[in-house]
Amino acid sequence: MRILRKFIFFIFLAGIVFSPVYYLKFKTKKFPSEEYLIKEGSMCEGDILGDILVENGLTYTQAYNITNQLKKVFNVRRCGIGDKWKIYFDKDGNFVKFVYQHGPVDYYVVRYDKEKGCYNVKKKKIKAEKKLVGAKGKIQSSLYESMRKIGINPEIIIQFAEIFSSKVDFFTDCRNGDEFAILWNSYTHNGEILQNLHICAAMYKSEYSTYYAFYFKLENGKSGYYDEKGKSVESAFLKAPLNYRRISSYFSYRRFHPILKTYRPHLGIDYAAPYGTPVSAIGDGRVIFAGWTKNGYGIAVKIKHPNGYISYYGHLSRIKKGIRAGKLVKKGQVIGYVGATGLATGPHLDFRLKKNGRFVNFLKLKMPPSYPLPSKYLDEFEKVKGEMMEKLNSLKDGQITLF
């Protein structure tokens, strides 16, 4: 998933062009006699706040005082691309206040008090309301491009792809005409989406299958996505135990060993990756071995999972601190690092999986589902699902809807 996240984020950055536009406008406030001259714009890559203030009519002393006040409530090093700013002047061109909006909700106001001859700063929040937002559409090229065309934010696209990652490979399985629908929570203000939160419900329909995911939170605070039958959408196992460059050797009952120069079974998958690449547990389980092996497997970790599965991670350079026999580990938790210990010609992970005592081909394994919802939650889940299904079905194709 980290590869997918980086890929989408790269496309997102590549598609953005920031062109700062500074313009003057008069804006009548509460008292009609009071007029302000306002200069406003957005932060671009490489911008320095002090320089922006000077370039837009303030003296170096004023710029220094404003940034100094701002530092009391905000780390100016966190100024980000897209942050909005406004400088207010009175009708005589004297500085009145500076407003800096960081993110969708937080903003900061620096004022000059004429009577006291000093500056003061306040942190404020936009009065936003939480609303459900929805979108529906069809695949016309890639999932990313099709969703962006409607106006869906990249962070929601990433969430959608992650939710269905165990069901659909969105790099290879997307087809023109496939349908999608999403509902998610957002903070809005005057009909404008300020900040996107989590997806509440989602649907993906291909030619042969339709997948649903509904967000549900348990009493203990844990949450997850479940299909229409209350089964977890998430697989119990990761698709791979690391970010790898290529598969250098596949599962085989007869493979020529490059060091021993003989044919022998290779009952695992060799993932080629740079030395030191983090290796993660493919699923929840208990470590039953962590150390040096005597069979050419080098430094290795062995984990026992529910339902008769045992996973093996060999040729590691080292084991992560704290990983030892008896230790409980979670899916995705780093347990070691890629190396070339034992009988290995170069850095790689030799990953193996046993099911009920027999080694199986991990690449052809039908991934076991994660745990279903406990029965005591099913009635409540059905109610949530019904509400979300009704809203999913009400969405109009090719547009975003605010409920």
Tens-place pLDDT, residues 235-269: 889 888 998 878 888 877 665 556 656 766 788 99
Q: Which of 125, 146, 175 is the last residue of a domain?
A: 125
Is residue 11 one of the residues assigned to a domain? Answer: no
Q: Are residues 121 and 133 in the same domain?
A: no
User: What confidence score (pLDDT) does residue 380 get?
Assistant: 95
Q: Which of 105, 125, 145 is the last residue of a domain?
A: 125
Q: Are residues 230 and 259 in the same domain?
A: no
Rg (CA), the chain: 28
Q: How many domains does the chain have?
A: 3
Is residue 25 one of the residues assigned to a domain? Answer: yes
Q: Are residues 266 and 218 in the same domain?
A: no
Is residue 118 one of the residues assigned to a domain? Answer: yes
**pLDDT average, residue stretch 317-330:** 96
Is residue 10 one of the residues assigned to a domain? Answer: no
Whether the pTM exceeds 0.85: the reply is: no
Is residue 281 one of the residues assigned to a domain? Answer: yes
Residues spanned by the domain of 285: 246-364
**What tokens does 203 get?**
């649907």
Counted residue by residue, the chain has a size of 403
CB 216 within 8 A of CB 222: no
Is residue 340 one of the residues assigned to a domain? Answer: yes
- Bridge partners for 129 per DSSP: 188
Query: Could you report the per-residue pLDDT of 17-63, keeping only the tens digit for each?
Result: 333 333 333 333 333 335 788 998 888 888 899 999 999 999 999 99
Q: Are residues 354 and 398 in the same domain?
A: no
Is residue 378 one of the residues assigned to a domain? Answer: no
Q: Are residues 205 and 269 in the same domain?
A: no
Q: Are residues 104 and 153 in the same domain?
A: no
Query: Could you report the per-residue pLDDT of 266-275, keeping only the tens digit for each?
Result: 889 999 999 9
Q: What CA–CA distance (Å, rounded) separates 19 from 319?
A: 48
Q: Are residues 252 and 353 in the same domain?
A: yes
* Residue 187: partners with Cβ closer than 8 Å, 6 or more residues away: 104, 105, 128, 129, 130, 131, 193, 194, 195, 197
> Tell me, what CATH number does 187's domain have?
3.10.450.350
Q: Name the residue with higher pLDDT: 295 or 68.
A: 68
Q: Are residues 253 and 359 in the same domain?
A: yes
